[in-house]
Amino acid sequence: MRRRQSPAIAAIVLSCASFACSGPTFTFPEDFVWGTATAAYQVEGAWNEDGKGRSVWDTYTNDLNLAGGETANVAIDQYHRYREDVALLKAMGIQSYRFSVAWARVLPEGTGEVNPAGLDYYSRLVDELLAAGIEPAVTLYHWDLPQALADRGGWRTRESVEWFNEYARIMFEALGDRVGTWITFNEPYIDAIIIEGSIRAALDPNIDPVPEPFAMRAEVQAGQAIVSHHWMLAHARAIETYRSLGLDGNIGITLSVSPAYPATDSDDDAAAATIADGLHNRWFLDPVLKGTYPEDVRALYSAHADVGIRDGDMEVIAANRADFLGVNYYSPTRVRAEPESAHFGIASLPNSDEQPAFNGEVYPDGLYDLLMRIDRDYGKPLIYITENGAGFGPEDDRLIDGEVHDVLRRDYIRRHLIAAHRAIQDGVNLQRYYLWSCFDNFEWIWGTTRRFGLVYVDFETQERIWKDSAHDFQSYIRDNGFN
């Protein structure tokens, strides 16, 4: 029989709870994994060393000036400093490190001859992580296509599916004994559709320039759907190869997912939000988790271009379901109907946050909503948050007397973790959280001007300095949660 508590004791217990003297209020499941993520082009540097081939991003920054004259030829020099960086991850308590492989480091021409020194780098990195007790999670493709393959038609040609499969096999065979978490692709919507579409439009005199990435004209965007289909097919083929090798780790994909909320409660805005959700989310979630494409988006794209789906493709996609879904979440999209818009008759609202983050509106409930929605609509898949994080500009990342008091980032991370925690409480099978990113790094066309790290990097000296958010994150991992 339970003993009745005296009112005095009950009052103490109550005040303890509200003053948090009884341990973390947000405790994560015991087997929850805390990690951080990076991508090869953004951190490695050593762009032309030890036999590495060129990637399209080497070309974009060195030849096409897409980052305003900056390049990631050195970046944060992780290629040479990986031992120190792994030691830093270990000191922070990081349990898993998500990094990507530069395809052109392993296969300088994209196919054919392997560069042993390139493969060896990743093997040493994996060993260093394992020795530090950190689980490696490998992304095969984070946007840096070998230039040699771009010259052969890149992702627009169907052959790209087999180029990727060959490369994936090489990586599985080399590291599969030590790496148990594999991510085929990072963010098909952002790269295959938006970035590659914008760049293609900018370089091709036959295509009118794209005004803004998320306002891309329907015919230009539809022209990229074939690229995203090849990614989906390549993803499925790589899973097939992975399993055929008898490897028993987990293999999945990382999608950028942004919940689309109608700007008002009008029917037109609701319909616009459904389209935005289809273009950004369902076009990828459906093939990955259901083995089909959403009919509404397929019809929108097919009206303008051949999406490239051939007999038998959907069977391959359906037969090779991912073991987990990697979710990258930064911000939601607020959508309204805009009949004049050449972007499928929809438009998004500008961010009205007082202190705008680089990656859009700060809205932690968006993370909760999308986790619940994926859980409900896609049969409770295993989910890892493979990216979440923020940068707010120079004020928040100011280095003063060797310290960085990044209050806005600290608040962002904490509130998003609370949203993730709530989703777990409500039954979502969320098992990992990878923060973007441990280190400030090279932010694509914004170069070194946009910092996202827990650790400040002086790009001149390569010194690493812990920000306040790094100390927070260290304590969250240590306590497996927080008050």
Q: Which residues bind ligand GCO (CB under 6 A)?
A: 39, 42, 186-187, 190, 256, 328, 359, 387, 436, 443, 452
Q: What is the largest CA-CA distance in the chain?
A: 81
Residue 73's CB: how many other CB atoms inside 10 A? 15
Rounded least distance, CB 165 to ligand GCO, Å? 22
- Based on the residue annotation, tell me whether 187 is a catalytic residue of this protein: yes
Please, which residue, 186 or 348, has the CB nearer to ligand GCO?
Answer: 186
Are the CB atoms for 334 and 303 separated by under 8 Å?
A: no
Sheet with 333-337, side-by-side order of all strands: 260-262, 333-337, 346-348
Q: Which two tokens stand for residue 87?
A: 């030691």
Rounded least distance, CB 142 to ligand GCO, Å? 6
Residue type, 451: R
Please, which residue, 76 or 190, has the CB nearer to ligand GCO?
Answer: 190
In 3D space, the residue among 412, 372, 462 whose CA is nearest the CA of residue 74 turns out to be: 462
Rounded least distance, CB 330 to ligand GCO, Å? 6
Per DSSP, the three-state class of 338 is coil
Instruction: Round to whole Å and give the CA distance between 273 and 284.
Output: 16
Are the CB atoms for 345 and 339 separated by under 8 Å?
A: yes
In 3D space, the residue among 27, 37, 33 whose CA is nearest the CA of residue 329 turns out to be: 37
Please, which residue, 338 or 387, has the CB nearer to ligand GCO?
Answer: 387
- Based on the residue annotation, tell me whether 212 is a catalytic residue of this protein: no
Q: Exposure of 344 by Cβ count < 10 A (0-12 exposed, 13-18 middle, 19+ buried)? A: buried
Rounded least distance, CB 290 to ligand GCO, Å? 23
Beta-ladder partners of 182: 138, 251
Please, which residue, 174 or 322, has the CB nearer to ligand GCO?
Answer: 322
Among the options 44, 128, 187, 361, which is catalytic?
A: 187
Please, which residue, 115 or 256, has the CB nearer to ligand GCO?
Answer: 256
Rounded least distance, CB 359 to ligand GCO, Å? 5
Please, which residue, 39 or 88, has the CB nearer to ligand GCO?
Answer: 39
Are the CB atoms for 436 and 387 separated by under 8 Å?
A: yes
Rounded least distance, CB 131 to ligand GCO, Å? 27
Rounded least distance, CB 255 to ligand GCO, Å? 10
Instruction: Round to whole Å and give the CA distance between 349 and 352.
Output: 9
Instruction: Round to whole Å and give the CA distance between 385 and 388.
Output: 7
3-state secondary structure 366-395: HHHHHHHHHHHHCCCCCEEEEECCCCCCCC
Please, which residue, 108 or 389, has the CB nearer to ligand GCO?
Answer: 389
In 3D space, the residue among 326, 422, 339 whose CA is nearest the CA of residue 374 turns out to be: 326
Of the chain, the end-to-end C-alpha distance in Å amounts to: 31
In 3D space, the residue among 196, 190, 168 whose CA is nearest the CA of residue 100 turns out to be: 168
Rounded least distance, CB 394 to ligand GCO, Å? 17
Please, which residue, 59 or 111, has the CB nearer to ligand GCO?
Answer: 59
Among the options 135, 196, 387, 443, which is catalytic?
A: 387
Alpha helices of 303-406 — where are they, by DSSP H?
313-319, 364-377
Hey, which residues are catalytic here?
A: 187, 387
